[in-house]
Structure 1
Amino acid sequence: MSRHERSARQLPPSAPALVTGATSGLGRSLARALADRGWTVLVHGRDENKCATVVDELRAAGGTAHPYVADLASLEEAAELGRRVAADHPSLGLLVNNAGVGAGRDARRRELSRDGYELRLAVNYLAPVVLTRALRSPLRAAGTAQVLNIGSIGQSPVDPDDVQFTRRYDGMEAYTRSKFALAAFTFTIAEEYARDGIGVNCVHPANYMDTTMVLEAGVRPWSSVAEGTAAVLHALDEGARGASGQYYNESRRAKAHRLAYSADIQQRLTSLTDQLIAPAERAGGTSW
């Protein structure tokens, strides 16, 4: 155990951590690691039974955890998740936007979210935007907080004229477009959120970890979930030391796709995003 981890155990974080997609793979491993560091972990997943299983595991190991069930393929449910967490925990120390959808078993098959949006765009990008914005107040209330977006080294610019990827669809490119958008979102909000004491970073945990997402795509894993977890914890440690607006390739500071830093592209993507999430905003009465 490192000196940092021993210190974290001695001084448990005062505000909880929400980890989306915490019932399997990287999210589950990260939930365990955070609980070991003394965090109260808010375990998000789509399946109530799986959430309960992870919560029971963390509690059995001496940790503190609570389940939160929501399907992030629905932006209204993403917004409602944010409202529930904010109501239950007016102060939030950490949000890890980890839940995601890979290329799928058939990369030629274009799938839709419950809102009728291209599925990878919706789950990997739009839902994190909705959730991050909905939780800004409790993150601000923590005094010092972090948002960590789980990104990918694979990034392809979003086509602003076909944001829903209706032409010449490819599942892997849909995935890399969504991760480009998530990285651009990280850099777009970092300076503004830093004024509220909220650091915002993005990390590519590892190449082709041994997760369901990778196996479904028919790819032989290159890395372990343990390696990915270590990279995420490194990014969190960097954030705790004040890093914000950064992109990490595993445990190294790196550069995301060059266009993710473009102010023009960020502005255009923000405008498109606002249009897409507006129905969820109106339905839930959410004010960003």
Structure 2
Amino acid sequence: MTPTRLSEQTILVTGATDGLGRALARELAAQGATLILHGRDAGKGAALLAELRAETGDGNGDRFTFEKADFSSLAEVRSLAERVAARGRLDVLVNNAGMGVELARRESVEGYELTFQVDYLATYMVSCLLTPLLVRSAPARVVNVSSAGQAPLDFDDVLLERGWDGVQAYCQAKLAQVMLTMDHAELLRGTGVTVNALHPASYMPTKIVTHLFTVQSTLEEGVANTARLVTDPALADVTGVYFNREREARAHAQAYDPAARARLLEVSERLTGVPFPALPLPVS
């Protein structure tokens, strides 16, 4: 399908009030896109809207809107998806919201390991619940912001109740995003909706990095690599691919194991109560 011009597209960016998400929002806004910006802090959301409107001359127009949702609550994740679905059009979904490496185990409102919920289960829910809208809006794209840091899931202890480790929690959630990418892409093949994942850059100067690691990459590099998956016409028909920065790459071996991906979908459905979509999708 011929890509729609960016100035005619509506794009949802989750985790848009800080770091990569905020910088990506500024880049897409400058190129003319209509943006739905998600965050968990209404004050930061209002500040971002004001900044984008000032930079683009949009004034108090409706090209930029903010949707508040705390991904530590699955009810809020569902509400966000339902509000976006009611808008009637979505050309691009950028699943960017996430946590970094935690120093101690925390649980969500539902009692799930927090990193797995925020970094993966929320991505799963938003992607599934918005699939019908994306198909109706095709050509459309889903971009999952993952990481080169990937670790296999132990399906006997996905929530790390017996042996929590912050690096394992982060890396298994990021691999789960890639695994979802492959199944979602296969489901939507031929519908005009593409689904890809990427490692945007290593250790960018964002708040989830600087408290533990030394910065290695610029934020601009991460934005350029992410925006490319959103806007590049050459990628209009590319789907089910994991990119390391700007190049196609090989993810962890578990991502290519159909049995492991099937188990992950079963776990995801059970924990969230949201079934993985099936074709044909509802038309309204």
TM over 0.5, yes or no?
yes
Task: Tell me what 1:99 maps to.
Answer: 97
Structure 2: state its 5+ residue gaps: 276-280
Task: Name the CA shift for 1:253/1:227 in 2 (closer, same or farther; >3 Å).
Answer: same
Task: Tell me what 1:220 maps to.
Answer: 214
**Counterpart residue type for residue 75 of structure 2:** E
Task: Name the CA shift for 1:273/1:22 in 2 (closer, same or farther; >3 Å).
Answer: same
Task: Answer yes or no: is the 8 Å Cα contact 1:92–1:142 preserved in 2.
Answer: yes
**Counterpart residue type for residue 222 of structure 2:** G
Cα deviation 1:199-242 (Å, max 9, x = unaligned): 000010001110000012x2111111111001112222267421
Task: Tell me what 1:167 maps to.
Answer: 162
Secondary structure at the residue paired with 1:201? strand
**Counterpart residue type for residue 49 of structure 1:** G
C-alpha distance in structure 2 between counterparts of 1:240 and 1:92, whole Å: 18
C-alpha distance in structure 2 between counterparts of 1:35 and 1:75, whole Å: 29
Secondary structure at the residue paired with 2:208? helix
1:139 has 2:128 as partner:
no
Residue correspondence of structure 1 range 36-51 to structure 2 within 5 A? 36-51=30-45
Secondary structure at the residue paired with 1:163? coil
Q: Identity of aligned pairs, percent?
A: 39
Cα deviation 1:234-258 (Å, max 9, x = unaligned): 2222674211001100111111111
Task: Tell me what 2:278 maps to.
Answer: none
1:267 has 2:262 as partner:
yes
Task: Tell me what 2:75 maps to.
Answer: 76
Cα deviation 1:97-156 (Å, max 9, x = unaligned): 00001112x2xx211111110011000000011011111122112120011000000101
Task: Answer yes or no: is the 8 Å Cα contact 1:13–1:93 preserved in 2.
Answer: no
Structure 1: state its 5+ residue gaps: 1-6, 282-286
C-alpha distance in structure 1 between counterparts of 2:205 and 2:67, whole Å: 25
Secondary structure at the residue paired with 2:8? coil
Secondary structure at the residue paired with 2:266? helix
Task: Tell me what 2:190 maps to.
Answer: 195
**Counterpart residue type for residue 99 of structure 1:** A
Task: Tell me what 1:19 maps to.
Answer: 13
Task: Answer yes or no: is the 8 Å Cα contact 1:70–1:81 preserved in 2.
Answer: yes
C-alpha distance in structure 2 between counterparts of 1:223 and 1:212, whole Å: 14
Task: Answer yes or no: is the 8 Å Cα contact 1:201–1:239 preserved in 2.
Answer: no
TM (normalized to structure 2)? 0.90
C-alpha distance in structure 1 between counterparts of 2:270 and 2:206, whole Å: 33
Task: Tell me what 1:151 maps to.
Answer: 146
Cα shift at 1:276? 0.4
Task: Answer yes or no: is the 8 Å Cα contact 2:70–2:77 preserved in 1.
Answer: yes
Secondary structure at the residue paired with 2:9? coil
Task: Tell me what 1:4 maps to.
Answer: none
Task: Tell me what 1:67 maps to.
Answer: 66
Task: Answer yes or no: is the 8 Å Cα contact 2:194–2:236 preserved in 1.
Answer: no
**Counterpart residue type for residue 81 of structure 2:** G
1:56 has 2:54 as partner:
no
C-alpha distance in structure 1 between counterparts of 2:22 and 2:97, whole Å: 11
C-alpha distance in structure 2 between counterparts of 1:146 and 1:271, whole Å: 24
Secondary structure at the residue paired with 1:61? helix
CA-atom RMSD in angstroms:
1.9
Task: Answer yes or no: is the 8 Å Cα contact 1:188–1:266 preserved in 2.
Answer: yes
C-alpha distance in structure 1 between counterparts of 2:120 and 2:83, whole Å: 20
Task: Tell me what 2:224 maps to.
Answer: 230
Task: Answer yes or no: is the 8 Å Cα contact 1:55–1:67 preserved in 2.
Answer: yes
Over 2 Å off, 4+ runs:
11-15, 238-241
Task: Name the CA shift for 1:195/1:13 in 2 (closer, same or farther; >3 Å).
Answer: farther
TM (normalized to structure 1)? 0.89
